[in-house]
Structure 1
């Protein structure tokens, strides 16, 4: 197979904040089989079920206590970010088909399939306001999910935050993001929180008040790659960390791009690889770190989503087959 060439952008990453080794250990209580592969996102719905999507296009509800699985629908593509709605439907960022709504009867409605005059690809995460306004991220316009590491090496900065109004109009609100990913709506609707995976940071984008339409950093210089995020019933912002930062990649990013191109073309066994750790962080909404939880025994890894409800903490992963329930932090 011929590997696609990079168009590298130079960037000097900030030093990571000191790693204190975490505040606790993740302990898996039970596994919830999906019957598929790659449950990339995981979110609780109003009834306490866990909603996720798998590589084969199925949208699932899982009972976190019993593991009972219900197929909600099939997107016909590759579901990534999901967001249950009050009417029983689920918004889905489908990598292949765009922004979808899966109705309670399993029917699929395409809400957005083009952005900025081009086909919508790699829609990543989604939230909705009570008035029907939908916000979603796109991670990259250069790479697909199977070759997402190409965007980290290239540093394409083609991620976006996109708004869909209730009348169906669509516009890009932020562009030039470093692999835009997880998205959370604040409880009072005043702002969004957005993870910039290859920028190692989390942004606050104001929706209301004097600062509406502006963005500010909430957390920066993270020691890993932030992925999907969710707001827990505990009021905390839960952040999945897919992998620790890679020292070689950080050293290469400020240097001439030809060096990254050479590393990218190496055989897979010789390229920098993600450390197989399960890792989640939790922050107050002012950016104060509360929890730093890790599982480093290799039994579960590359966590791409985390959700908390009433003390139940669940994780999912693009590279695993199961969703896992872990013991809540003490």
Structure 2
């Protein structure tokens, strides 16, 4: 049975490779292990000094990678009244995360040093430099009581404007399996201007919007719809400002989107295919690099990184490729093998 399963997985992977432009498989270079039993480095970020990665985690904390000796250390906690007995080591999709928080998308404002966090339960959160002051900007405890599940995030490097997604106003993160089995279209793409404190809804009626990334020149922002298998583009400047269009359909479910140093985008995509042997769907995670004019430039399968577990983010920083996963206990450095 095991041999048959491996044959099936290998055959499926080969088909996907042959059908992908510039196909390759990732080679694992390094793992950054989180402190046990913490899991879920769903997103990664680097500060203005190039330190990190900083990662989100399953027990409501942000961790910062120091070096190979110290590893990850706690940087900030989403809950101002964190009970270590209750919260430490929480696994994902637990009801307790509503008390402890569950940070997902991360992004730094490199002018101020502030770290912005999309927390699944607490909404949009700002962490001051040093990780000590944590401020909730958008969420269920202020003027936005309908907030249920905040997800992806990006910060415009020039203006400091924060773009983030509200995956659903009907389901919470703990109900994720029910959400993806639904036909929910209550999600939104939002904009927060830290200079004015103004919050704006840019696009609504989205099918579980996940990742978001603003373009290098700030002229548009991309948002992925997890249930719709597509990326949409919202124009921010020019004659088409605040109009939207289909940017790219995908053969798989998109998660986080990250802009690279050349202005192109890495999209984390998970391809779920039905297995007749296991009687369930098997995932083939990959990273897809696309240009601003919608060209798919590269497709990298992450079997060596996560097996068939879902990958949540692919990010290029200073020429190095990093990846994160909601399900793993580590983040990774990898390189494509052509």
TM-score scaled by length of structure 2? 0.78
Shift of 1:151: 1.9
Off by >6 Å, runs of 4+ in structure 1: 64-67
Shift of 1:132: 4.2
Shift of 1:21: 4.8
Shift of 1:18: 11
User: Counterpart of 2:53?
Assistant: 50
User: Counterpart of 2:19?
Assistant: 20
Q: Deviations over 1:301-329 (max 9, x none)?
A: 20011100232111111111100111246
1:286 is aligned to 2:293: yes
1:301 is aligned to 2:309: yes
Root-mean-square deviation (CA, aligned residues, Å) is 2.6
Sort the Cα spacing of 1:128 and 1:21 in 2 relative to 1 into closer, same or farther, 3 A: closer
Q: Structure 2: which 5+ residue stretches go unaligned? A: 1-15, 80-100
Instruction: Indicate the larger mover: 39-48 or 286-295.
Output: 39-48
Instruction: Indicate the larger mover: 286-295 or 132-141.
Output: 132-141
Query: Which fold has the larger relative contact order, with Cα–Cα distance below 8 Å and residues 6 or more apart in sequence?
Result: 1
Give, in whole Å, the separation in 1 of the partners of 2:163 and 2:329.
28
Give 1:196's match in structure 2, choosing from 212, 225, 248: 225
TM-score scaled by length of structure 1? 0.80
Sort the Cα spacing of 1:158 and 1:326 in 2 relative to 1 into closer, same or farther, 3 A: same
Give, in whole Å, the separation in 2 of the partners of 1:311 and 1:75.
31
Q: Deviations over 1:31-90 (max 9, x none)?
A: 101212111112333333212110111112225877832322111211000001112221
Q: Secondary structure at the match of 2:171?
A: coil
Contact 2:287 2:314 in 1 (8 A): yes
User: Counterpart of 1:207?
Assistant: 236
1:89 is aligned to 2:91: no
The within-5 A match list for 1:231-242 is: 231-241=259-269
Contact 1:116 1:171 in 2 (8 A): no
Give, in whole Å, the separation in 1 of the partners of 2:24 and 2:213.
24
Shift of 1:173: 2.2
Sort the Cα spacing of 1:278 and 1:63 in 2 relative to 1 into closer, same or farther, 3 A: farther
User: Counterpart of 1:313?
Assistant: 321
User: Counterpart of 2:207?
Assistant: 178
Give, in whole Å, the separation in 1 of the partners of 2:174 and 2:65.
25
Give, in whole Å, the separation in 2 of the partners of 1:29 and 1:133.
34
Instruction: Indicate the larger mover: 288-297 or 195-204.
Output: 288-297
1:226 is aligned to 2:254: yes
Instruction: Indicate the larger mover: 162-171 or 61-70.
Output: 61-70
Give 1:100's match in structure 2, choosing from 96, 106, 125: 125
Q: Deviations over 1:267-317 (max 9, x none)?
A: xx97x44x2433111001111011111133654620011100232111111
User: Counterpart of 1:264?
Assistant: none
Contact 1:234 1:309 in 2 (8 A): no
1:126 is aligned to 2:153: yes
Paired residues in the alignment total 290
Contact 2:221 2:234 in 1 (8 A): yes
Give, in whole Å, the separation in 1 of the partners of 2:24 and 2:124.
37
Q: Secondary structure at the match of 2:177?
A: helix
